[in-house]
Chains A and B, each alone.
Chain A
Amino acid sequence: MNGIPNSTWQKNTDDAVFRIPANNSLICNITDKVMFAYSLRLVNANYNGALIRVRRSRDNAELDIYADQFGKLDIKTLQDFCPTGNAFVTRWYDQSGFARNAFQGTANSQPIIILNGVLYTINGVPSLNMNSNRFLTHTTTAFDWSMTMSLIAVNYQNQSGTKYVCQFFTSLAGSNNLAIFTQNFISPTGNISTSPSFRSRYTVNGGATADVQAFLLRSNPLLYMFYWAGSNTSNFINGLGNGFDSGSGSIPAFPSSSLSISSNILGLGFTSELIIFDGQIHLQSETYINIIKNVGKYYSIGLPI
């Protein structure tokens, strides 16, 4: 697709690449390595690029939107660019230092950030409407499934059913993709209207699927912290190991083709942030607590620690 660079998913081994903002008000004290960092706020003090690129419905013109002096999305520039009509996100820039930017070149699949001149917000901060098959993709050429990775996502599910937070598409496609998704419906008031669950799924190279059930935090929007331990077939969510329903065998290393934020069919309601780390974030570790505090505070999420 036009404008989408290929890259190899690598571990960020240079501590200088990813640094917390000086005032430490926006991002947690991350000591783990960051592989992907998509957010509508500045989460890396060393990053000075745009946060997103938007397309306005009036004339389809596109514009990069940066962070303001406080590290938040420059809403004034965004609204000046699109005072009426709709604005869609065509690019979600990666702040990890690897420029693993996510793109969407198809108009009616682009996440919505302004609808009829009104900015989408969740708990007072900007968010992207991913409903109706809207998603963004980062194309890559290689991915090592033996890696242990952790994922933080700030999402709000406002539709029932299975909804994808993100999905790692492998070159084998279909059932060999790793999908991280929710399966319940959270009402606008934050009440859980069906039995709570959070489930990740992957299929071991053509074999049985492996599922994870986990608890949901009593927050709205939800904050997910999830990690999988590669070939150890061990997954944890919010620091708790919940075990597999049917995880057997190991995940083989095979090349992947892309990371999809949300999904083309099973898109998740609203997404504000998705950060993927190299390595495991342990429950009650300093990193874990800092993440909970920082993300919880910024997004006004009441979180148990």
Chain B
Amino acid sequence: MLENITQLGYRFNTEQEAKDAIHALNVYYGIPVSPDATTQTWCNYGYNNEYWYIVWDESMNIILAEPIEIIIIINE
């Protein structure tokens, strides 16, 4: 069953914008520390059939500023 959930996050018009935002976070936090490290990215992005998004956590504020309410779709 698909379910819409409202969460804080960041909204992007294109996939590339979302990738660029994650790249900025990865650079800031030094991820990955090496090519074979388990941790390869700071976060991931999603798509809700209308726009691309990143779900917020407070570590992102310093790079992506204040979040807004976004809609994400999950399979429940």
Query: Could you tell me the distance in whole angstroms from the C-beta of B3 to the nearest C-beta in chain A?
Result: 9
B59 contacts which of A3, A60, A106, A108 (Cβ < 8 Å)?
A108
For the complex, give the distance between the alpha carbons of A104 and B42 in Å.
11
Query: Could you tell me the distance in whole angstroms from the C-beta of B23 to the nearest C-beta in chain A?
Result: 14
- Which of A105, A110, A175 gathers most chain B CB within 10 Å? A105
For the complex, give the distance between the alpha carbons of A248 and B44 in Å.
37
Interface pair A2/B40, CB less than 8 Å apart: yes
The interface residues of chain A lying within 8 Å CB-to-CB of B33 are 59-62
> Using a Cβ–Cβ cut-off of 8 Å, how many residues does chain B contribute to the interface with A?
25
Query: Could you tell me the distance in whole angstroms from the C-beta of A111 to the nearest C-beta in chain B?
Result: 13
Interface pair A175/B39, CB less than 8 Å apart: no
Interface pair A106/B75, CB less than 8 Å apart: no
Tell me the dominant secondary structure on chain A's binding face: loop
Interface pair B39/A108, CB less than 8 Å apart: no
B76 contacts which of A60, A104, A266 (Cβ < 8 Å)?
A266
Query: Could you tell me the distance in whole angstroms from the C-beta of B40 to the nearest C-beta in chain A?
Result: 5
For the complex, give the distance between the alpha carbons of A59 and B37 in Å.
13
76-116 of chain A: CB within 8 A of chain B: 90-91, 103-110
Interface pair A60/B38, CB less than 8 Å apart: no
For the complex, give the distance between the alpha carbons of A108 and B57 in Å.
8
The interface residues of chain A lying within 8 Å CB-to-CB of B59 are 108
For the complex, give the distance between the alpha carbons of A53 and B36 in Å.
14
- Which of B2, B33, B75 gathers most chain A CB within 10 Å? B75
- Which of A3, A108, A133, A174 gathers most chain B CB within 10 Å? A108
A1 within 8 A of B: yes
A265 within 8 A of B: yes
The interface residues of chain A lying within 8 Å CB-to-CB of B42 are 106-108
Query: Could you tell me the distance in whole angstroms from the C-beta of A175 to the nearest C-beta in chain B?
Result: 6
Interface pair B55/A133, CB less than 8 Å apart: yes
Query: Could you tell me the distance in whole angstroms from the C-beta of A165 to the nearest C-beta in chain B?
Result: 15
Identify the B interface with A (CB < 8 A): 1-2, 5, 29-33, 35-44, 55, 57, 59, 72, 74-76
Across chains A and B, which 8 residue pairs bring their CB atoms closest together, nearest first?
A90-B38, A174-B75, A105-B40, A107-B42, A265-B74, A108-B43, A60-B33, A108-B57
21 example contacts (A-B, Cβ-Cβ < 8 A) are as follows: A1-B40, A2-B36, A2-B38, A59-B30, A60-B30, A62-B39, A90-B38, A103-B38, A105-B38, A105-B39, A106-B39, A106-B40, A106-B43, A107-B39, A107-B43, A108-B57, A109-B44, A110-B39, A132-B57, A174-B2, A265-B72
Identify the A interface with B (CB < 8 A): 1-3, 53, 55, 59-62, 90-91, 103-110, 132-133, 162, 173-175, 177, 265-266
